[in-house]
Amino acid sequence: MRKAPTGASLLAALAAAVAGLTCFAVQTAAQRPAFDVIIANGRIVDGSGSPWFRGDVGIVGDRITAIGSLGDATAATRVDATNLVVAPGFIDLLGQSEFNVLVDGRAASKVLQGVTTEVTGEGSSIAPVNDRLIADAAPNASHFGVVQDWRTLGDYFKRLQERSHTTINIATFVGAGGLRNYVIGKDDRPATPAELERMKQLVAEAMQQGALGLSSSLQYVPDRFASTDEIVELAKVAARYGGVYFTHQRSESARIFESLDEVFTIAERASIPAEIWHLKTAYKANFGKMPEVLRRIEAARARGLDVTANQYPYTRASNGLDSCLPLWAREGGFEKTLPRLTDPATRERIKKDMDDGGATTWENQWYGANGGDGVMVSSVLNRDLAKYEGMTITQIAKAMGKDPRDAVIDLVIADHGETSSITSIMDEDDVRTALKHPLVGVGTDSGAQAEDGKLSESKSHPRAWGSFPRILGRYVRDEHLLTLEEAIRKMTSKAADRVHLHQRGILRPGLIADVTVFDAATIRDVSTFDDPRHYAIGIRHVFVNGKRVVADGAITAERPGRPLTGPAGR
C-alpha cells in the first residue's frame, strides 16, 4: 500500500514542479526569436527626408519594433538588405484599385512597384451605391465576375476585410460626383435644397464609416454639373469629421488659373485641407505654365490655405474615350447620349464641337491631343473591339475607312461608353518642374494590373505598372532631378500625412511595418505605351502590415492588406 504524502513532501513536490516550469519558461523565452523579421544591413531611407543611414529593421507582428544595429538578434525570418534601400511602403495617392482588388487580390502591378497602400475614390467612389448605380455597373462587374453585394462604404470595407483579401491596404474618399449621381443622376441642373441635404447626409455617413474626406472630379459628368457652392457645402461636412478634400480640378488647360482659384475657395470656405490630383498643364497652348501654377499654390499657402498636389511622371493622360465628346453630348449618362450619337444632325454638331479649339465650357481633349494622332485606345469591355487596343484613332479610322471623329463616336456606341483612351496632352518640362517641387506628391491614377489573369486581358497606361520605379530610376538615379531621400519622402510620409494615416509612411519603432526594399542601382519601369504589360524591376521585398507580400521579386501567398479608415471611422 502506497504511503500518503505528508504536507512537507507536497510542498517540496510543488516547489520542484514550479522550478521545472520556470526552467522551461526560461528555455522557451531563450529559444523564441526576438523578432519575427529582421531586415538586415540596409541603406535605410526612413521617409522623413533625412539622409540615409546603414542599419537593421526589426518587426514583430504588424509593427516595427527596432531600428538600428540589431547585431546577432534572432528572427524567424532574416532578409539580407546589403546594397539595397529600405524604405517605408509607398503610398499611391490615386490608386484606382478599389474594384480591381476584388477581381485579383494580388494587386500585382502595384506591389511590384513597392506600393503598400492605395488612396482612391476620385469623384465617384466604390460606395455608397443604390440599385440604379449597381445596374449601371453591372456589365463591368459581370465581365470580371464580381458580385456587387455592398451598398455602403462600411459594407465594402467589411467585404474587403473578411472575404476579398489583398496584398495592399485600401483607403478611399467619398466622391461628390458619385453622391450627385446617387441622388440626382447625371442631369445638368442644380441640386434642390432637399437633394443637397441628402448628399450631405451621405457624406456624413461615409465619413462615419471611414472615408478619408470628400473628393471631386470636376472635369467629368456628373461632377462637372456641381457648382462651387455645392462642393463647399459637402466639404464642410467632411471637415467636421476631420476629413480632407482632394480634387481633379475643373480645368487643367485654358481655364487652369480660374480652376485653381476654385480649389482655393473651397479650401477657405470649408476650412478644409485640399489637394489637387494629377497636377498638369494640359494641351500645347498651356505648356510652360507649370511654374506659375506652382507659384499660385505657394501663394495660397502663404495666406493660410493648406493646399498641395500630386502627379504621375508621364506626359500622357488616360480617361474614357467618351471624354473626347463635348460635355452637352454626355449629359444625362449613356442612355441619353446614345440617341444624340445616332441622330445624323446631332452627330454633325458633335463633330464640329470636337474641332473647336476655343472651347471653354468643357475640356476639349480631342482638339488638345491633336485629334486622332494623340488619342490611343487602351482598353475595351466589348472584346469584339479588342483588335483596336493599342491603336491611335487615326489608325483605327483608316482601318474602318471613316472620319476619325466618326470612329470615336462609333467606338463609344459599340462599347457602351466603356472604352478607355490614352491622350498625349502634356510637356516633359512641366512634368519635371512639378516633380521637383516639395509640395507635389505621387499617384498613379490607375488601377492595379497583371501580366496574367482577368486584369491582363486589356492594355493600360504604363503609369499603372511603373510610376514609382520610373521616378526612382529615371529621375533620381539617372537624371539627379531630385534626391533619393526627397523622392521617398514624397512617396511615403508626405502622402501619409496628407490623408492622416499617421501610423504609416515612415520607419519608426511602434509604427506599422509597411516596408519596401529595392535595388537603387537597377530599379526602373519597363512598361511602355506600345507594350504596357510588364512589371517594373528592382523591387526586391515588400512587407504589408508585417507580412512579406513580395520576396526576392516574386509575389507571395500572403494577403495582409486592410481597409484603412479616415479619422472618424477609427
Largest alpha-carbon pair distance within the chain?
Answer: 113
Task: Please spell the DSSP secondary structure of 73-89, one letter per residue.
Answer: --EEEEEE-TT-EEEEP
Q: What is the CA radius of gyration of the chain?
A: 26
Helical H runs in 222-361? 228-240, 256-270, 290-302, 327-330, 334-342, 344-354
- Give CA angle at 123 (122, 129), nearest 5°: 105
- Say which residues have a Cβ less than 8 Å from residue 529's Cβ, sequence separation at least 6: 316, 376, 422, 461, 462
Q: Which helix (H) or strand (E) holds 316?
A: strand 316-320
Q: Which helix (H) or strand (E) holds 515?
A: strand 515-518
The low-confidence residues of the chain, meaning pLDDT below 70, are 1-32
Task: Please spell the DSSP secondary structure of 369-414, one letter per residue.
Answer: TTGGGGEEEEE-SSGGGGGGTT-BHHHHHHHHTS-HHHHHHHHHHH
Q: In this predicted structure, what is the pLDDT of residue 570?
A: 75
3-state secondary structure 403-449: CHHHHHHHHHHHCCCCCEEEEECCCHHHHHHHHHCCCEEECCCCCCC
Which is nearest to 119 in space by CA: 144, 102, 94? 94
- Say which residues have a Cβ less than 8 Å from residue 98's Cβ, sequence separation at least 6: 118, 120, 121, 125, 126, 156, 170, 172, 447
**Cell numbers that stand for 539 in this block:** 523591387
Q: In this predicted structure, what is the pLDDT of residue 364?
A: 97
Per-residue pLDDT tens over the stretch 467-496: 999 999 999 999 999 999 999 999 999 999
Per-residue pLDDT tens over the stretch 155-171: 999 999 999 999 999 99
Torsions phi, psi for 548 (to 5 deg)? -85, 110
> Rounded to an integer, what distance in angstroms lies between the CA atom of residue 37 and that of residue 39?
6
Which is nearest to 480 in space by CA: 435, 510, 547? 435
Q: In this predicted structure, what is the pLDDT of residue 472?
A: 99
Q: In this predicted structure, what is the pLDDT of residue 16?
A: 41
Distances (CA, A) of 169 to 150, 174, 496, 564: 19, 17, 12, 6
Q: In this predicted structure, what is the pLDDT of residue 31?
A: 53
**Cell numbers that stand for 361 in this block:** 465650357
